[in-house]
Amino acid sequence: MAVIQLIDVSKTFHGEKEITALQNINLTIPDGQIFGVIGLSGAGKSTLVRCINGLEKPDHGQVIVSGVDINRLSTKELREMRKKIGMIFQHFNLLSSRTVAGNVAFPLELVGMNKQDIKQRVEELLSLVGLTDKAHVYPHQLSGGQKQRVGIARALANQPQVLLSDEATSALDPETTQSVLHLLAEINQRMGLTIILITHEMDVIQSICDHVAVIEQGQIVECGPVIEVFTKPQSSAAKRLIHGSINVQLPRDLLERVAMSGQNKRVLLKLSFTGSTTHEPVIASMLRTCDVQANILFGRIDQIKSIPFGVLLLEVSGEPEEIERCMRFIADQQVEMEVIANG
């Protein structure tokens, strides 16, 4: 079941310069998933978030949350609907004059919950995010990661159906980022909460997301399971983001060497391994089968959520017919192959 649907959503801001932030966005976010939205600064990510939680009204199109078109709601109804959507922010947005417990309690006070129930709920949430011992300290006494954990606890206070994370790890160091992402994944599993991660970092998407939408210049240019988008990107935007994450940079002299291959033919191949193929001795088997020489120039094995994923840059030289045989062999092993250079 889809918990959120955006149907033909567009939004333009009018000022000294007209800015089209969203163009005909169609997006379906299934219930219980961790769904990533990735794009560079200015791509339209923040406007998309503000349309989902009702802070911006699109010029046309529908934003449907739990079966309700929120653009048709009255102010009072919209206020009630927002209780179903928790939000965590890049810069935490904690109240400096309140303790950790006071920050988490704040949204519960706003809805009129009695003090005893607030106390119990705050204790449960601080235990969930691992901050029981920080209940009575103030935000300035916390690390960045601890502040974000308070933000997560506060966002969960009213038991929302959806948690929106708007660049929530961008201000954190890599180790703290992974800690916060691990917590979000745990919350998703324990509570069945739908989480929407807005980010410009492919590593964040790779770590915990089930599906991802790539946004560029206000348009969704690619959408699908993370493993498919990461291993077989179709749009130029996705390819740029993924190549930046993998960071495979080839020296010019290497490409020139392949181009000036001389008597023996040379090809430079990029091989992508997914799932069980990452553990198979594909290259060793290839060398036993084909009369070629191979030089490994780059290799990396990583995980996309729980699925192993590997990238290998391989320089192969030999007689043309043997190289063709070699490439057919690789393709038969269910390994994605791209010819980077051919000499």
Look at residue 178 and give its three-state secondary structure. helix
Higher pLDDT, 154 or 298: 154
Which residue, among 94, 245, 63, has the nearest Cα to 162 in the 3D structure?
A: 63
How would residue 66 be classed by pLDDT, with cut points 50, 70 and 90?
confident
Q: Helices (H), strands (E): how many in the chain?
A: 12, 14
Q: What is the mean pLDDT of residues 57-80?
A: 91
CA distance 228 to 220: 16
333 closest CA partner among 269, 278, 254, 252: 278
Measuring CA to CA, which residue among 55, 38, 33 is closest to residue 169?
A: 38
Tell me the percentage of the chain whose pLDDT exceeds 90. Answer: 53
2-233 and 252-342 have identical folds: no
Q: Is pLDDT above 70 for 36?
A: yes
Residue 247 neighbours by CB under 8 Å, 6+ apart: none
**Which pLDDT belongs to residue 42?**
86
Asked if pLDDT for residue 172 goes beyond 90, the answer is no
Rounded-to-integer distance, Cα 247 and Cα 236, Å? 16
- The architecture of the domain spanning 2-233 is 3-Layer(aba) Sandwich (3.40)
Query: Can you tell me which residue has the tokens 């430079």?
Result: 268
pLDDT band per the 50, 70, 90 thresholds, residue 244: low
Q: Rounded distance, CA 13 to CA 198, Å?
A: 21
Residues 6+ apart with CB under 8 A from 221: 214, 215, 235, 236, 237, 238
List the Cα angle 322/310/219 in 5-degree steps. 110
What are 176's two structure tokens?
A: 């703290």
Residue whose token pair is 């935007």: 237
Q: What are phi and psi of 266, to 5 degrees?
A: -130, 140
- Identify the CATH assignment for 252-342 out of 3.90.1570.10, 3.30.70.260, 3.10.450.750, 1.20.1250.20: 3.30.70.260
Residue 341 has pLDDT above 80, yes or no: no
Give the side-chain half-sphere CA count within 13 A for 90.
8
Does 245 score more than 60 pLDDT?
no
How many Cα atoms within 13 Å fall on the side-chain side of residue 78? 16
Mean pLDDT value across residues 308-321: 88
- pTM score over 0.75: yes
Q: What is the pLDDT of residues 326-340, one digit of tens each?
A: 999 999 998 888 888
Residue 306 has pLDDT above 70, yes or no: yes
Confidence of residue 249 (pLDDT cuts 50, 70, 90): low
- Residue-averaged pLDDT of the chain: 88
Indicate the DSSP class of residue 236.
H
Number of Cβ within a 10 Å radius of residue 64: 16
Of 263 and 325, more confident = 325
Mean pLDDT of 215-227: 93
Any idea where the domains of the chain sit in the sequence? 2-233, 252-342
Residue 258 confidence (pLDDT) above 70: no
Q: What pLDDT is attached to residue 343?
A: 67
